[in-house]
Amino acid sequence: MLNAVRETPIQFDENQRADFLAKHGWDIISTVGQDSSVRRYFRLRGIGAKSDQSAILMETVPDNSPHATPGHSVSSFIEISKWLNSIGANAPDIYEVDEQNGLLILEDFGATCFKYASLSGQDPAQLYTIAAQTLDHIAAQNCPLDLPQYYESHVHKRHRRVVDWYMPLARQSKNEDGLVEAYKNIWADIENSLPPCPQGFVHVDYHAENLMWIAQEQGIKRCGILDFQGAMIGPAPYDLANLLEDARTDVPLDLKESILAKHDETFRAWFRVLATQFHCRVIGQFLKIAIADNNPQYLPYIPRLEKYLREALNDPLLKPLKTFFDEHGVYFDKMDAEDLQNLKTLIRPDAF
């Protein structure tokens, strides 16, 4: 989620794709969708003897392409899928691969993600509990994969985007020198005040639209996991923060509190830190996409992110951060996101 949207789509080789599918006995029957990276997905139907079978084609760019999404790769997708399945989680099996050309044929988990299952009447408590149990199961394993480190990643570094992109628009003035450094120092002090955070495998994009509801399975196998190729080694509460404070949808407060209550005080403190940093990154990133890429599709989510941030800043743990924002007149209270293109002049050249 939330990679910069490219105005010029990547041109894929349709003949290459057709040859790959014909070689392995599949036909495209529909487009499934495209996420905010260069990946595209198609639902397939088998040819001949396997005409009653379905699969998913993932079409992307090879790992050495200049268009590859940072931190994501075909090779990572393959090894992470194998590892998740080996520990009893449920990632799609990989049927066929042309790694050189970025083509993979995957198990089809159907069309019902957790979000749509909930909207269709499935009990949200059951769905989110299973999603959380899946995270607990993965966290209990020793991940042997050589994955990027979260604290060295673009994902972590981007939480400054609330300062770079949100604050100038909220205050209607360009940021003064030193504001980003002051913000980062406050976070360092908050993090240093806490016990060490448990570390492990982090999916990085673990939310209700990347989890597929597979009703015929049992236990955590009912949670089909997608879009994990950007996984890292990092703070264990991060994925739960993404799940329970999703930019796209609300999770009932009592359900969130019930799931969090199963974790110890250190985990919950880091949940608050990581969720708030996540919102700081995403609210700035949505504005960056709207302004720099002239793409407003994520702006409707800004009020929910503002609400998350207002509520989070009432936690005593984050009092220094609240003081910082208050002193600079930023209250996350329904910023006017109209006519953003005329506000480009407020964004500093060094904005990240």
Chain segment 9-31, per-residue pLDDT in tens: 567 788 999 999 999 999 999 99
**Residue ranges of domains in the chain:** 14-106, 114-346
User: What local confidence, expressed as pLDDT, does residue 68 receive?
Assistant: 56
Range with the poorest average pLDDT among 107-116, 307-316, 331-340: 331-340
What does each C-alpha distance from 62 to 34, 42, 67, 73, 341 come to in angstroms? 16, 18, 9, 7, 34
The pLDDT of 317-346, averaged and rounded, is: 88
- Write down the CATH number for the domain with range 114-346: 3.90.1200.10
Longest pairwise C-alpha distance within the chain: 69
Chain segment 31-43, per-residue pLDDT in tens: 986 555 678 899 9
User: What local confidence, expressed as pLDDT, does residue 96 receive?
Assistant: 97
Residue indicated by tokens 């988990």: 109
User: What local confidence, expressed as pLDDT, does residue 72 receive?
Assistant: 66
pLDDT at 140 over 60: yes
pLDDT at 341 over 80: no
Domain 14-106 homologous superfamily, CATH = Phosphorylase Kinase; domain 1 (3.30.200.20)
Chain segment 210-229, per-residue pLDDT in tens: 999 999 999 999 999 999 98
Distance CA 295, CA 143 (A): 37
User: What local confidence, expressed as pLDDT, does residue 334 receive?
Assistant: 74
CB-based contacts of 62, cutoff 8 Å, min separation 6: 68, 74, 99, 100, 101, 102
Residue 262: DSSP 8-state = T
Confirm whether 14-106 and 114-346 share one CATH topology: no
pLDDT at 288 over 80: yes
The size of the chain, in residues, is 352
Where is pLDDT greater, at 101 or 195? 195
Helix, strand, coil: what percent of the chain each, to 5? Answer: 45, 15, 40
Name the band, by pLDDT with cuts 50, 70 and 90, for residue 310.
Answer: very high
Distance CA 74, CA 120 (A): 33
